[in-house]
Structures are given as structure tokens and as C-alpha cells.
């Protein structure tokens, strides 16, 4: 039996694929103007790698090797098609500028390709595509996840997800969505869409869910990876840093926030289990981001939320949390986006800094509008403040309502546990609060 050479060719090919397929694919799409052709060429190049590396050994720069071979496959395919169908080159964006590929066996380590991932991000997150399509396409083309993996992570049938991707690619081609970085006057608006997609992917992974824990973790890791790419490609955009910081700081608590399948609140988490490397990186990013904004008062929403997460991360114990500062940050966030959800967070921070009664009064004022009636966190926050005040008889129905509205099993379990606690405790006031 042949012994596997080291490094293992199949593993090498797979790791290149996960790490670099986004960049290679982006480049192939620019050259061919077609997602499908680019994907086909990449698949063929991978097959070549798997056929050739076991015999010849893994090349020094496997990514460049695959890129070069894929590039050649792509041009071969285009040439074949052109001869077959004559003037049918209307699908090409710019074959004129396509460089003939060098021989992959020559100097593959010295090869460098322009990074087209930024264009790809803007195309995948184009507002002419619906959000679900943006998410699926971004994960499929820029991420290292396969269609079945994405489908399982989003709990949709594989066929549904595949169909979503096919439809999105077809719209890009047929409606002429450009493969470009938008001009300066459109950049902010379009960048916001890219950031929203990345954050949505993160949140989908972060939402504590009973099943598929590992895949959820993969989604978070993918979102962070995409956030890093965005920071690398557009490092002067403070909100890119804010978004990455926000995700890192939340993700740093991933181990501590779950214990035996049950949710552990921030207050009850074992802070020694937090990922301090991620926290250090997140804190540095927040500082950088806030330092580069035009004025401190104009920090964007991701930066403000990251600053809140940073304050939690810096508190060695729950009692040391700088709640007044958090309340101030939510106040600023509220000025930017006057949503009831932000107002709810602000009210909780006020409760923890100014006084529980004051926070509760604000929550009740918010509730009077009725817009938060079906939002489980509204009832959960209200219940929590009532519990802290020892008003257990009022807390119980609020917990009950929150648990009834929560769709996530883990969160529902947590709320039901709290409900049993307050029901068991009866009207006895609790001594400590925060």
C-alpha cells in the first residue's frame, strides 16, 4: 500500500479550496463574466490538482497552481465555445484584457493575481438581489461552505438553497448587474448592504440553536472571515472595523454562553472561558475604528454596538460593568436608528446604571406603543427587571409571554427555567440586583 506523501495532496487541495476559492473564483468571474463558467473552471482545476499532486507532490504555492490551471481551463473553454458558436462572446466582460496563463509548472510561487473579491462582494450583495439570495450567493462564492452545508446551517432544504443561488446568478447575468466596486458616491450605501449580509450570516450562526451546533459555529467563523476580508480590502472604512470587532467580541463568549445545551446569560457566564485572544483583537479594532471616524459623535452603528460589547468584555465581573457608559452608547445608537429594539436595549442599560425602577418605567412607556408586543425580548427584559425588583408575581406572566413568543428552543428553555424560578420564589424579594 502506498504511503500518503506529506503533506497529503487531498487535504492540501481541500484546504486551498476553503481558504482561497473565493479569491480564485472572483478572478475567474472577472475574466469570464460568468459565475457558472468560473465555477466550472475551478472545479476542473481542483480535479486536476487531485489527479496530479499525489504523483508530482503538492506544489509550493498550491493556490497559485490551482488559479493558473483554472485560468487556462477557462480560456480553453471560452475558445472552444467561440469557435463553436462564432460571435457568441456577448457574455464576456473583458476577454480582451485577459492575460494568457503561464505554465503552472513554472514559478508558481511567484505568481500573484489581483484581488477581485471586493467586486465579488458588491455583486453578491447588490440591492437588486433579495437578502436571502445575497446571503446564499455570498456564502457560496466567497465562503468555503458547500451548498449542502449552507442549506443545513440555514435549515432550508438543499434544493431550495440551490435554486436560490441559481436564480441569483441568472439575474446577475440577465439583468446586467455589474462586477465592479461601486463609485465613491454609491460606496457607502452599497457597503452597508455588504456589511448587513455579513452580520446576518453571523447572527444566524450566533442565535443559540438546539441542533446543528457545529454548523452554526461554521457560519460565525465564515462571517468573521468575510469581515476580515472586507477590512483588508477597505481598511479605511471605520464601520468595517466596527463590524469585525462586534463579531469577534460576541464570538469570544461562544463557549461560556452555553452549558449542557442551556443558555447562560452574560451575567452568569464564567468569564475565564471567554476567548481572550478574540477580545484583545476586538478591543484594538474598536479603538482603531473610533479613532478614525470624522468625529467621535458620528460613529456608525456597528462601531457603537462594538463599543458596548467591548465594555462588557472589559468587565472582570458583572458588577464592574460600566453601565453608565453603555447607556450613553445606546443613547447615541438611538439617535442614529430610532428603533424600538435599540430603545429597549437603552432602557435596560438605564435600569442597570440609573436604577431598575427607572429602566422599568422606560420599558413600560415603550410597551405602551404596542410595537413590541410580539417581540419576545421585550417581555423577557421586562420580566428580568421585575424579577430583579423581587416583583415575582408580575415577572411570571411576562416570562410566560416571552417563552410563548420565543421561537428558538434554547431561549425558550431558558425563559421557562426563569419562570419556574420566580414561581417557586413567590413574592420573596431578591437581595442583590446587578
- Looking at beta carbons only, is 178 or 355 nearer to another protein? 178
Torsion of CA 109, 113, 114, 118, to 10 degrees: -100
Backbone angles phi, psi at 234, to 5 degrees: -130, 70
- Looking at beta carbons only, is 128 or 296 nearer to another protein? 128
Q: Minimum distance from CB of 30 to another protein (Å)?
A: 8
Please give the residue ranges that form the binding site for another protein (CB under 8 A).
33, 90, 92-94, 96, 126, 128, 174-180, 182, 186
- Looking at beta carbons only, is 31 or 243 nearer to another protein? 31
Q: Minimum distance from CB of 89 to another protein (Å)?
A: 9
Q: Minimum distance from CB of 25 to another protein (Å)?
A: 17
Buried/exposed code over 203-234 (b: 16+ C-beta within 10 A; e: otherwise)? ebbbebbeeeeebbebbbbbbbbbbebbbeeb
User: Could you tell me which of 21, 132, 32, 4 has the C-alpha nearest to residue 67?
Assistant: 21
- Looking at beta carbons only, is 186 or 417 nearer to another protein? 186
Q: Minimum distance from CB of 152 to another protein (Å)?
A: 32
User: Could you tell me which of 186, 71, 184 has the C-alpha nearest to residue 125?
Assistant: 186
In whole angstroms, give the CA distance from residue 164 to residue 175.
16
Pure H helices in 337-408: 340-353, 356-368, 376-388, 392-405
In whole angstroms, give the CA distance from residue 251 to residue 303.
16
- Looking at beta carbons only, is 94 or 232 nearer to another protein? 94
Q: Minimum distance from CB of 123 to another protein (Å)?
A: 10
Bridge partners of 259, per DSSP, are 262
Phi-psi region of 183 (alpha: psi -120 to 50; beta: other; left: phi over 0): beta
- Looking at beta carbons only, is 54 or 182 nearer to another protein? 182
Omega cis (within 30) before 7: yes
- Looking at beta carbons only, is 33 or 242 nearer to another protein? 33
Angle (CA) 23-100-115 rounded to 5° is 20
Q: Minimum distance from CB of 13 to another protein (Å)?
A: 31
Which three cell numbers, joined as nine digits, stand for 321? 460593568
Q: Minimum distance from CB of 364 to another protein (Å)?
A: 37
Q: Minimum distance from CB of 128 to another protein (Å)?
A: 6
- Looking at beta carbons only, is 94 or 335 nearer to another protein? 94
Which three cell numbers, joined as nine digits, stand for 309? 460589547
- Looking at beta carbons only, is 89 or 364 nearer to another protein? 89
Q: Minimum distance from CB of 431 to another protein (Å)?
A: 58
In whole angstroms, give the CA distance from residue 171 to residue 175.
5
Q: Minimum distance from CB of 345 to another protein (Å)?
A: 34
Which value, in Å, is the radius of gyration of the alpha carbons in the chain?
25
Which three cell numbers, joined as nine digits, stand for 425? 420564589
In whole angstroms, give the CA distance from residue 192 to residue 276.
29
- Looking at beta carbons only, is 128 or 166 nearer to another protein? 128
In whole angstroms, give the CA distance from residue 62 to residue 109.
8
Half-sphere exposure of residue 19: CA atoms within 13 angstroms, side-chain side? 12
DSSP letter at 11 equals H
Chain-centre distance for alpha carbon 201: 4
- Looking at beta carbons only, is 133 or 246 nearer to another protein? 133
Q: Minimum distance from CB of 177 to another protein (Å)?
A: 5
Amino acid at each position: 500500500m502506498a504511503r500518503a506523501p506529506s503533506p497529503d495532496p487531498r487535504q492540501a487541495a481541500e484546504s486551498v479550496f476553503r481558504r482561497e476559492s473565493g479569491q480564485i473564483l472572483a478572478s475567474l468571474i472577472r475574466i469570464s463574466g460568468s459565475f457558472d463558467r468560473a465555477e466550472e473552471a475551478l472545479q476542473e482545476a481542483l480535479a486536476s490538482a487531485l489527479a496530479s499532486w499525489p504523483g508530482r507532490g503538492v506544489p509550493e504555492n498550491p493556490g497559485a497552481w490551482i488559479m493558473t490551471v483554472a485560468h487556462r481551463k477557462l480560456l480553453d473553454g471560452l475558445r472552444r465555445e467561440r469557435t463553436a458558436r462564432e460571435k457568441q462572446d456577448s457574455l464576456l466582460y473583458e476577454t480582451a484584457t485577459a492575460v494568457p496563463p503561464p505554465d503552472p509548472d513554472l514559478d508558481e510561487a511567484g505568481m500573484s493575481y489581483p484581488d477581485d473579491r471586493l467586486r465579488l462582494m458588491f455583486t453578491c450583495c447588490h440591492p437588486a438581489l433579495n437578502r436571502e439570495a445575497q446571503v446564499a450567493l455570498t456564502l457560496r462564492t466567497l465562503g468555503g461552505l458547500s451548498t449542502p452545508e449552507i442549506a443545513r446551517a440555514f435549515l432550508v432544504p438543499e434544493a431550495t438553497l440551490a435554486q436560490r443561488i441559481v436564480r441569483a446568478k441568472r439575474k446577475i447575468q440577465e439583468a446586467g448587474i455589474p462586477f465592479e466596486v461601486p463609485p465613491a458616491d454609491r460606496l457607502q450605501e452599497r457597503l452597508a448592504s455588504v456589511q448587513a449580509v455579513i452580520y446576518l450570516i453571523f447572527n444566524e450562526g450566533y442565535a443559540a440553536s438546539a441542533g446543528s451546533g457545529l454548523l452554526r459555529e461554521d457560519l460565525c467563523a465564515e462571517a468573521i472571515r468575510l469581515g476580515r476580508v472586507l477590512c483588508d480590502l477597505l481598511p479605511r472604512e471605520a464601520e468595517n472595523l466596527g463590524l469585525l470587532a462586534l463579531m469577534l467580541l460576541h464570538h469570544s463568549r461562544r463557549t461560556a454562553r452555553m452549558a449542557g445545551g442551556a443558555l447562560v446569560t452574560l451575567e452568569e457566564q464564567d468569564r475565564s472561558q471567554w476567548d481572550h485572544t478574540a477580545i484583545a483583537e476586538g478591543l484594538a479594532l474598536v479603538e482603531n475604528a473610533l479613532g478614525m471616524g470624522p468625529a467621535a459623535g458620528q460613529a456608525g452603528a456597528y462601531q457603537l454596538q462594538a463599543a458596548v460589547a467591548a465594555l462588557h468584555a472589559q468587565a472582570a465581573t458583572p458588577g464592574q460593568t460600566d453601565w453608565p457608559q453603555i447607556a450613553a452608547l445606546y443613547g447615541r445608537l438611538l439617535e442614529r436608528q430610532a428603533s424600538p429594539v435599540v430603545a429597549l436595549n437603552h432602557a435596560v442599560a438605564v435600569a442597570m446604571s440609573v436604577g431598575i425602577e427607572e429602566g422599568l418605567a422606560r420599558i413600560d412607556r415603550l410597551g405602551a406603543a404596542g410595537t413590541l408586543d410580539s417581540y419576545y425580548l421585550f417581555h423577557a427584559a421586562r420580566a428580568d427587571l421585575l424579577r430583579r425588583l423581587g416583583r415575582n408575581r408580575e415577572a411570571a406572566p411576562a416570562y410566560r409571554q416571552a417563552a410563548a413568543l420565543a421561537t428558538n428552543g434554547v431561549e425558550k428553555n431558558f425563559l421557562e427555567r426563569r419562570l419556574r424560578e420566580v414561581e417557586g420564589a413567590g413574592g420573596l424579594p431578591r437581595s442583590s440586583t446587578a
